[in-house]
Structure 1
Amino acid sequence: MSSIEQFGYRQELQRSLGFADLMIYGLIFMVPIAPFGIFGNVFAISHGMVAMAYVVGLVAMAFTALSYAQMARAFPMAGSVYTYAGRGIAAPVGFIAGWAILLDYILIPSLLYLIASVAMHTFIPVIPVWLWLVAFVALNTVVNYLGIQMTAKITRVMLVAELVVLAIFLIVGGIALTQGKAQTGAFTPFFEPSSFHLSVVFAAASVAVLSFLGFDGISTLAEENREDARRLGRSMIAALGLAAVLFVAQTWMAALLTPGREELIAHGDSAGQAFYTMAEFAGGPWLSVLTAVATAIAWGFANSLVAQAATSRLLYAMARDRQLPSFLAKVDPKHQVPVNATFLVAGISLVIGIFMSARVDGINELSSLVNFGAMAAFLLLHIAVVVHYVVRKRSKNYWMHLVVPAVGFVVLVSVVINQNVAAQWVGGIWLLIGLVVLGFSYAAGRRPVLPSEAQ
């Protein structure tokens, strides 16, 4: 376990998490049943090749996870890609990376709460979406305030529950296939010659990667990791690999059992009900209700719980370096959590979630914006690996420190190019605002400077 004092910081957060805790945290952040909530959207964009979209998404994230693991070894601190780009390249670049991924981290709890609230409203329509959203935000804020150990204990229970629901779906889906309910050939979810085009696959992958976002959240808990820094990187890779197997298995089966395939491809799934409709077709109304409620609890409680924790740690790290308002760096002395950052994330999630709930296509719009912020930050992460190891350290491990980040960079560029145009515009404006803020900092004589980087 590396000390953060050598980087100019004081240990304030509680080191209580082991390898299993970190891996489970990553799995919960990604949500083993994540495709339930966005299945219809990915299915429509990919023209039914939803399993292929997840395979391409895995490839993109696998190279990124390897780069994360390398930087986590070099800089075992909270802050995720903000820390890695800032330490690996330069403090101003770290600010831009942190600013970019803030678009992901700040918006993703709002997206999770919204998806969960829509699912619960489908199940209990008498309670409006906004009220479900308020309840989820309040519950998670209390749990996160009570400390990271409380969060870790709850995530273990939630992971088991999600895996049980997924197992039920796969078993019932398998029975449905034996009963002849398949709507297409076994390989169609992976490849459909008449619909295949690289732009289609990458466009679908740009949405599918939403399910993988979360493995990187493990890096925000570096200062709460009680083991060697290498375990941090290994936990990211392990969580990503396990999640990928689950994602491909469930989307393959769901794609085979989806009724009204052509209509879904033509008109999309703005209501977010495609998976639950498919579940009812495969196993009956009870399976539809089970998967809808499971999605609501997984996204609205388990996933958003860890998302809120990760976001608060990123805000804490940037505020500690005086790149965000200093009040966000306050740590509660009793529970040892960044208390102000935690409450701020809750407030932002509530406002954005309620606002987007009133929009017809709010879920898809938020999904695209979340992904753009993450992809932009990951691009800087790959550059940081090359600069830190090859340029500065003269590393001869060209595979891990040059080839892997280079391939990861190219794959991510392909994903970003094929993203939703509106997301590209909004994401570009967000980055432009970040550059303006950085410019003002320089003009005011407050250029980003990190504490001692002695190693």
Structure 2
Amino acid sequence: MSTERPTSEAAEGGDLSEFGYQQELRRSLTLRDLLVYGLVFMVPIAPFAIFGVVFNASMGMVPLTYVIGFVAMIFTALSYREMSRAFPISGSVYAYAGRGLHPAAGFLAGWAILLDYLLVPTLLYVTGAAALGSVLPAVPQAVWVILFVVVNTVVNLLGIETTARTNKIFLLGELVVLALFVVLAVVAISRGVNGATWTFTPFFNPEVFQPSLIFAALSVAVLSFLGFDAISTMAEETRGGARVVGRATVLALTLVAALFIVQTYLAALLVPGQTEFVGDTATNEAFYTVAALVGGEWFKVLVAIATALGWAVANALVAQAATSRLLFSMARDRQLPKFLAHVHPTRRVPERAVLLVSVVSLILGLFFVGQIGLLSSLVNFGALFSFLVLHLSVVAWYLIKQRQRTYGLHLVVPLCGFVIIGYVLVNSDANAKIGGLVWLAVGVVVLVVLRLMGRTTQLKVG
């Protein structure tokens, strides 16, 4: 085995034996499948749902917020790429930190991102139910939550190929709606609808610009970028090895950032001279109001439905798949109950992990109906904390354990990512930090119990 690379070429091609595992999941995904998976997870039309919130926080400079968000996240994406090349296995940051930094750090990183992965489907179901509630108020939002959970669970249990095909259908639908908005918005701006003119003010408004405004908005906008990291959970189901996973991670983030910037720039132009939407209703329906300006009431309804399906079905579908793979990976290493490591002999999916995620999502979804803000902040904490550990893992593995001298990619990049993510985490919602720290404390207790029971957290590094 080369001293320059922590895994052999065989391992990069999909040989799991060096890590003490057997190939149990079906290896059928391509680069295109991973790109679709990542895009669906991040939702190309995600700004539709939170445009008003980010608009208010940034005083109208929404596209600038997404530019900064992309810059912040690209450092993390590069760190994921490097660690996925070193360890081409399921488990995401749990597997990377456990091998690159320390097994205990890996467990806590996995435990932290579980908070993200377990709550993401719940958040998406609640968001989708709220969107459809504005279209069909007579139907209780709880009914939509139940329907979303059932549909996604069935699709995921059918196998990864079915999930991949469904992803493509939903992504196509989202892109069609987005393309329609772009065309209608360009026409509306060119005609001066609502006083709109072509200007770069949404990118930089010197009259109201303050760095603190942008970083405050970034803490909200970063939620839209969460999901590119989940591509790494599909490593054991991908053809072409670890390089495909790393390439898909960076490409998916770049593509979705471009889509976010374009759509929010056009939407901001259509509310010229405005730096705030007043009231919760106006803020939550800000993008839908813009959609009505460019296309009329029918287009507003179409955008609302697309948002609901994009978040609560498409995004939740891949979120459930990613969460089940993380549970499978941790259970396989005896860090969680062993029954979660069971794989269906025919469909080759971790069916018990899928079912557990669906049950948890259903219970939490019914409990948290209407509480989107709290769920969003908790999701952010779990993801951001795990990203911090990821960046430390890159430095520890490549510079300390492998004694490489690749300071640019393995020191400067993770250091930049660590500082940016750390700033956002420190300035996040107080309730989110309290809830997140309580969750981490529970994780520490679980880790201690595992040690007392004689279960090792040591992971094979190849």
TM-score, normalization by structure 1: 0.95
Structure 2 counterpart of 1:384, one-letter code: S
2:398 counterpart of 1:389: yes
Task: Measure how far apart 1:219 and its partner are.
Answer: 0.3
1:440 match:
449
Task: Measure how far apart 1:182 and its partner are.
Answer: 4.4
1:19-418 to structure 2, matched below 5 A, reads: 19-180=31-192, 181-182=194-195, 186-258=199-271, 261-262=274-275, 264=277, 267-268=279-280, 272-357=284-369, 359=370, 362-418=371-427
Task: Measure how far apart 1:60 and its partner are.
Answer: 1.3
2:29 counterpart of 1:5: no
Assess if the C-alpha contact under 8 Å between 1:80 and 1:219 holds in 2: yes
Instruction: Between 290-299 and 172-181, report the one with greater CA deviation.
Output: 172-181
Secondary structure of the 2:382 match is helix
Distance 1:270 1:108 in 2: 25
Instruction: Structure 1 unaligned segments of length 5 or more: list them.
Output: none
Distance 1:199 1:262 in 2: 15
Assess if the C-alpha contact under 8 Å between 2:56 and 2:276 holds in 1: no
Task: Measure how far apart 1:365 and its partner are.
Answer: 1.6
Distance 1:188 1:221, change over 3 A: same
Distance 2:257 2:100 in 1: 29
Task: Measure how far apart 1:166 and its partner are.
Answer: 0.2
Distance 1:52 1:269, change over 3 A: farther
Aligned residue pairs total 449
Distance 2:272 2:432 in 1: 30
1:120-140: CA deviation from partner (whole Å, max 9, x where unpaired): 111122211110111111001
1:167-218: CA deviation from partner (whole Å, max 9, x where unpaired): 0001111111112124587223222234322222112111111111111111
Distance 1:195 1:420 in 2: 23
Task: Measure how far apart 1:440 and its partner are.
Answer: 2.7
TM-score, normalization by structure 2: 0.94
Instruction: Between 415-424 and 399-408, report the one with greater CA deviation.
Output: 415-424
Task: Measure how far apart 1:436 and its partner are.
Answer: 2.2
Assess if the C-alpha contact under 8 Å between 1:176 and 1:182 holds in 2: no
Distance 1:281 1:184 in 2: 14
Task: Measure how far apart 1:228 and its partner are.
Answer: 2.3
Secondary structure of the 2:305 match is helix
Distance 1:248 1:137, change over 3 A: same
1:326-378: CA deviation from partner (whole Å, max 9, x where unpaired): 11111111111111110111111111112111x4xx11221111111101000
1:299-331: CA deviation from partner (whole Å, max 9, x where unpaired): 111111111000100011011111111111111
Assess if the C-alpha contact under 8 Å between 2:60 and 2:276 holds in 1: no
Distance 1:367 1:186, change over 3 A: farther
1:410-449: CA deviation from partner (whole Å, max 9, x where unpaired): 1111111221222122112211221222223233433422
Secondary structure of the 1:343 match is helix
Distance 1:323 1:234 in 2: 29
Instruction: Structure 2 unaligned segments of length 5 or more: list them.
Output: 1-12
Structure 1 counterpart of 2:146, one-letter code: V
Secondary structure of the 1:196 match is coil
Structure 2 counterpart of 1:205, one-letter code: L
Instruction: Between 13-22 and 365-374, report the one with greater CA deviation.
Output: 365-374
Aligned partner of 1:15 among 20, 27, 43: 27
Distance 1:193 1:260, change over 3 A: closer
Task: Measure how far apart 1:222 and its partner are.
Answer: 0.3
Distance 1:212 1:298, change over 3 A: same
Task: Measure how far apart 1:259 and its partner are.
Answer: 7.8
Assess if the C-alpha contact under 8 Å between 1:41 and 1:270 holds in 2: no
Distance 1:269 1:240 in 2: 30
Structure 1 counterpart of 2:54, one-letter code: V
Secondary structure of the 2:199 match is coil
Assess if the C-alpha contact under 8 Å between 2:335 and 2:450 holds in 1: no
Aligned partner of 1:429 among 420, 435, 438: 438
Identity of aligned residues (%): 53
